[in-house]
A and B are shown apart, each in its own frame.
Chain A
Amino acid sequence: MTVVFFQLTLGLYFLGTVMFLVCLDRRSEVLSTIALGLAGFGFFTHTIALAFQLLSGDDLKWVTFHKAMSFFSWSLVLVFLVVAIRQHLYVLGSFILPLAFLSLVSTAILPTEAPVLHPMFQAVWVHVTLSMLGTVGFAVAFVAGLMYLMQERLLKSKQFNVLYFKLPPLDFLDKLNQRSILLGFPFLTLGILTGAISAQITLGAYLSWNPEQTWAVVTWVFYLFVLMGRVTVGWRAKKAAYLTIVGFAGVLLTFLGVILKSSGVPVS
């Protein structure tokens, strides 16, 4: 049952993504409403799939990479739907939905059903959930940064095309960038703390500097600087956009560390 709903979700996100990308240089409101509808319906089936998974309870909750990514993708779409509908900002879908779709696809193509962490620590799903919520914040910041750079370039080069009209004002994107990091950061902090505790329990050390942990700490420090830099030395606007894009690359590397580790490739 779960599998059926997952596949349905995957299909809907795919269609939504295609639709949203088609919308990028078209002014039709109808198309973007359809795209939003597809995303919304996909979110619905996704929720059902996740609920089935939770209720079946035959294994620990979020401990596999699959489930973590699926949860990530679900939260991303949730954030997108809330922001897009409240701000009437459908163009966000052209950027976020592909990301959500790709993360869900990654669960389908990566051969890893192995647990992320040793299941001895029963509350490991707390760590994964928190880290994923933090990541959602950074992903939104990444998208905002990307949109910022595009809009900035369009303004600078005086290309008043459809995309220019669709993209929101620079100020809005900069604020979205800042707020998403501000929201994501506490989650990542808690995620790292719970991760350290679970590592202490399962591996006997809070920090063993494996690639996953190293990148997590580096990412954390990085975003801390990004946040502080905005207030102290004016890392905002274009600079903030670049930084959040780089930061998200760090996040992806952390993921890579997790995948490598859980798929048994010798690391360290």
Chain B
Amino acid sequence: MHIITVGLSHKTAPVELRELLAVPDSRMGEALKRLMTYSSVKEGMLLQTCNRVEVYAVVDQVESGFSAVQEFLVDSHLSLSAEQLLPHLYWYSGDRTIAHLFRVTASLDSMVVGEPQILGQVKDAFRSALTHNTSGVILNKLVQKAISVAKRVRSETRIAENAVSVSYAAVELAKKVFGDLSARTVMLVGAGEMAKLAAKHLINHGVRQVLLTTRDPVRARTMANRFQGSPIPFEEFRSEMAKADIVICSTGASHYLISAEDVQRAVRERMNRPIFLIDVSVPRNIDPAVREVDNAFLFDIDDLEMHVEQNREERRAESVKAEAIAQEEVAVIQKWLQTLVATPTIVALRKRAEDIKQAELDKALGRLSTLSDQDRETIEGLASSIVNKLIHGSVVTLKSVAQSSNGAIYIDAARRFYDLDSGEEASEEDDQLSSSIVASETVKSASDQKNVQHVDEPKFSHEAKG
């Protein structure tokens, strides 16, 4: 049994090609079934996002597996030819497949490293494979491990911690001023996209009230509906500014709309409560002299970019740690895979039986000190023959099925029934993971949603499904 992957990603293929390979959710079953028609493919899973299409498969021979999966990919779209596709594909087998899957799931291979959607997408792919019965003992174990590795990376490194989008950076900065954002008021001046995104993030973080103003009253009303805010006449927004803790400015005006005096007055009216201003308009709409006003904090688009860049640096640094975690886990899974061969399992099974027999004999014979040598031999013979007969069936089955496509299942089952891997504490945790994946959608959406805001900037594409 070998584990392989063949696929392409944003690093190797243009979006036009990735689009062609994408299988709609409704036809996933069909695609998986087609994959399984190749005789060398024993287990299969199809992972696809905007940025990648990958097939993970368990095959009996690496070479025939590669060509099968490759053929599968070429056939997935009528207009595709092998010559067109091949230069963009990558092929991994064995350790490298495992490492790749772990890296992908932990968002180390993403366009925006650390973005959270990919974990959900891997879970989706796995769920499809489970639903259509194309995943077996090896893929189950691998993907579950990949998911737990991703979680470990998330909790042990700061790879997903800080904002890597400009609009989200605004939220982080606002939090550094105000701490808790609930009970705060935000004022939107103008209706630029970036400003709307930032406002959306702020609302998600509990901002209580939204005031908004644009030159066009109709637009102000539609925006008011969208954000459930109160519109303010454009002529009056300067005098209303004192009510806002956060002011986001993004208009098409070619001059400064907010002067240092305006802000000074607002701060005075606010009795020196800090006011936080974001200017995402180009050319700028807030006079940079506002920086000199005490208790006013002005950030323009460059400042936000700088904040984001710092966070990206941080993520890059953290991804080194994450890579190490992934490598470490590859070794763990590799060890498990090696046990899935018949001979060592049979040896382990015999040893286990022998150990138990010997231990029980020692105990019993210790108590029966008066026995003659002959009695002793009889008892020992009895113990041996019980044990041997008991495991005989298992050994024969293991030998006969080892080479079949279900071999891994039997071997894994035998290892569990006879507790041959005691000391490998991870397996139980993985089982729970599996059932939680199958059973509940909610876990995924709840845990992923809170981080979604980090990367939904239009200017950065990411692993989200197209």
Interface check A155, CB cutoff 8 A: yes
Inter-chain contacts of B272 with A (CB < 8 A)? 234-239
* Docked complex Cα distance between A235 and B273 (Å): 9
Interface check A156, CB cutoff 8 A: yes
Contact across chains for B295 and A238 when beta carbons are under 8 A apart: yes
CB distance from B416 to the nearest CB of A (A): 37
Q: Which residue of B lies closest to A27 (CB)?
A: B158
Inter-chain contacts of A156 with B (CB < 8 A)? 291, 297
Interface check B75, CB cutoff 8 A: no
Interface string of B62-99 (1 = CB under 8 A from A): 00000000000000000000000000000000000000
Inter-chain contacts of A234 with B (CB < 8 A)? 268, 270-273
Interface string of B17-40 (1 = CB under 8 A from A): 000000000000000000000000
Given A155-B297, A238-B272, A238-B295, residue A172 in contact with residue B303 (CB < 8 A): no
Contact across chains for A238 and B306 when beta carbons are under 8 A apart: no
Inter-chain contacts of B175 with A (CB < 8 A)? 169
Inter-chain contacts of A235 with B (CB < 8 A)? 272
User: How many residues of B are counted as interface, with CB atoms below 8 angstroms from the partner's CB atoms?
Assistant: 23
Inter-chain contacts of A239 with B (CB < 8 A)? 272, 294
Given A156-B291, A169-B175, A169-B179, residue A237 in contact with residue B273 (CB < 8 A): yes
Contact across chains for A155 and B176 when beta carbons are under 8 A apart: yes
Given A238-B272, A238-B294, residue A171 in contact with residue B307 (CB < 8 A): no
Interface check B288, CB cutoff 8 A: no
Contact across chains for A170 and B306 when beta carbons are under 8 A apart: no
Contact across chains for B177 and A170 when beta carbons are under 8 A apart: yes
Q: Which residue from B177, B273, B294, B310 sits with its C-beta under 8 Å from A160?
A: B310
Contact across chains for B303 and A164 when beta carbons are under 8 A apart: no
Interface check A115, CB cutoff 8 A: no
Q: Is the interface of A mostly helix, strand, loop or mixed?
A: helix
Interface check B410, CB cutoff 8 A: no
Q: Which residue of A lies closest to B178 (CB)?
A: A171
Inter-chain contacts of A155 with B (CB < 8 A)? 173, 176-177, 297
Inter-chain contacts of B303 with A (CB < 8 A)? 158
Inter-chain contacts of B274 with A (CB < 8 A)? 170-171, 237
CB distance from A226 to the nearest CB of B (A): 13
CB distance from A62 to the nearest CB of B (A): 37
Given A160-B310, A234-B271, A237-B272, residue A170 in contact with residue B178 (CB < 8 A): yes
CB distance from A4 to the nearest CB of B (A): 41
* Docked complex Cα distance between A168 and B268 (Å): 24
Q: Which residue of B lies closest to A231 (CB)?
A: B271
Q: Which residue of B lies closest to A164 (CB)?
A: B176
* Docked complex Cα distance between A237 and B294 (Å): 9
Q: Which residues 258-304 of B sit at the A interface, judged by CB distance below 8 A?
A: 268, 270-274, 291, 294-295, 297, 299, 303
* Docked complex Cα distance between A210 and B307 (Å): 54
Inter-chain contacts of B173 with A (CB < 8 A)? 155
Interface check A94, CB cutoff 8 A: no
Contact across chains for A170 and B176 when beta carbons are under 8 A apart: yes
Interface string of A149-169 (1 = CB under 8 A from B): 001000110101000100011
CB distance from B297 to the nearest CB of A (A): 6
Given A156-B291, A234-B272, residue A168 in contact with residue B179 (CB < 8 A): yes
Contact across chains for B177 and A171 when beta carbons are under 8 A apart: yes
CB distance from B265 to the nearest CB of A (A): 13
* Docked complex Cα distance between A162 and B388 (Å): 65
Q: Which residue of A lies closest to B169 (CB)?
A: A160
Q: Which residues 131-182 of A sit at the B interface, judged by CB distance below 8 A?
A: 151, 155-156, 158, 160, 164, 168-172
* Docked complex Cα distance between A156 and B268 (Å): 19
Contact across chains for B294 and A158 when beta carbons are under 8 A apart: no
* Docked complex Cα distance between A247 and B270 (Å): 24
* Docked complex Cα distance between A237 and B297 (Å): 12
Given A171-B177, A172-B179, A236-B272, residue A160 in contact with residue B291 (CB < 8 A): no
Given A235-B272, A236-B272, A237-B272, residue A160 in contact with residue B307 (CB < 8 A): yes
Interface string of B335-376 (1 = CB under 8 A from A): 000000000000000000000000000000000000000000
* Docked complex Cα distance between A78 and B179 (Å): 25
Contact across chains for B176 and A158 when beta carbons are under 8 A apart: no
Max chain B CB contacts within 10 Å: which of A155, A168, A172, A235? Answer: A155
* Docked complex Cα distance between A171 and B306 (Å): 23
Given A158-B303, A160-B307, A160-B310, residue A236 in contact with residue B271 (CB < 8 A): yes
Q: Which residue of A lies closest to B268 (CB)?
A: A234
* Docked complex Cα distance between A168 and B175 (Å): 9
Q: Which residue of B lies closest to A169 (CB)?
A: B179
Inter-chain contacts of B273 with A (CB < 8 A)? 234, 236-237
The 9 A-B pairs at the shortest CB distance, nearest first, are namely A234-B271, A169-B179, A234-B272, A171-B179, A172-B179, A160-B310, A171-B178, A237-B295, A237-B272
In the assembled complex, 22 residue pairs joining A and B whose CB atoms fall closer than 8 Å, in A order, are A151-B176, A155-B176, A155-B177, A155-B297, A156-B291, A156-B297, A158-B306, A158-B307, A169-B175, A169-B177, A170-B177, A170-B178, A170-B179, A171-B180, A171-B274, A172-B179, A234-B268, A234-B271, A236-B273, A237-B294, A239-B272, A239-B294
Known: A27-B158, A156-B297, A169-B177. 19 other contacts (CB 8 A): A155-B173, A155-B176, A155-B177, A156-B291, A158-B303, A158-B307, A160-B306, A164-B176, A168-B179, A169-B178, A170-B176, A170-B177, A171-B177, A171-B180, A234-B273, A237-B272, A238-B272, A239-B272, A239-B294
